[in-house]
Amino acid sequence: MDASFTIIPYSETYKDAFRSLNEEWITKYFQMEEMDRVALHHPKEYILDKGGYIAVALINREPVGVCALIPCQYDGYDFELSKMGVSPKAQGKGIGKLLGQHIIDKAKELGAKKIFLESNRKLTPALSLYKKLGFKEMTKISSPYARSDIQMELTITTA
């Protein structure tokens, strides 16, 4: 990645980018669901005010990727890795991996022991990325998303 690449914490400046980068992949493969609308239209209330975090990846100050860490209501999990989207024009450059690692590092910093995520088997590149980041498939939780057909978890080890 070149020097013009950076990952920064979300601010209201990136509200539209957070929504559009996620709507882009969701509508390409699936349909928007009520839970998407809530999170994407109200990231401050739904994610940040509850103790969550959103990362924004920038190339030349333009937002090209986003990912959220949402406090998890499921037993045994501290956070959910959610709403990761990378612009098609920036895909294949390792941005997803850098965002994912950034989110995992942030979860560690916040004292998390376990992170959970939901996805869909159709999203092969995303699943491959999650596995590279150390996530393992599991089944324990009933999903609020119709599109979710795979769940994964990551146990965070502290060195």
Q: Give the model confidence (pLDDT) of 103-125 as tens digits.
A: 999 999 999 999 999 999 999 99
- Residue scoring higher pLDDT (142 or 47): 47
Residue 15 banded pLDDT, cuts 50, 70, 90: very high
By percentage, how much of the chain surpasses pLDDT 70?
97
* 58 DSSP 8-state letter: E
pLDDT grade, residue 142 (50/70/90)? confident
Rounded Cα distance, 84 and 61, in Å: 18
Q: Determine whether 35 is exposed, middle or buried from the number of CB atoms within 10 Å of its CB (0-12, 13-18, 19+).
A: middle
Q: Are 63 and 17 spatial neighbours (Cβ–Cβ below 8 Å)?
A: yes
pLDDT: is 131 or 142 the higher one? 131
**Rounded average pLDDT over 60-79:** 94
Pick 3 or 92 by higher pLDDT: 92
**Amino acid at the residue 51:** G
Residue pair 130/136 in contact (Cβ under 8 Å)? The answer is no
Residue 139 has pLDDT above 90, yes or no: no
Beta bridge partners of 94: none
Q: Which pairs with CB-CB distance under 8 Å and at least 24 residues apart come from 39-45?
A: 39/68, 39/70, 39/82, 39/83, 40/83, 43/10, 43/15, 43/18, 43/19, 43/68, 44/12
126 — pLDDT class (breaks 50, 70, 90): very high
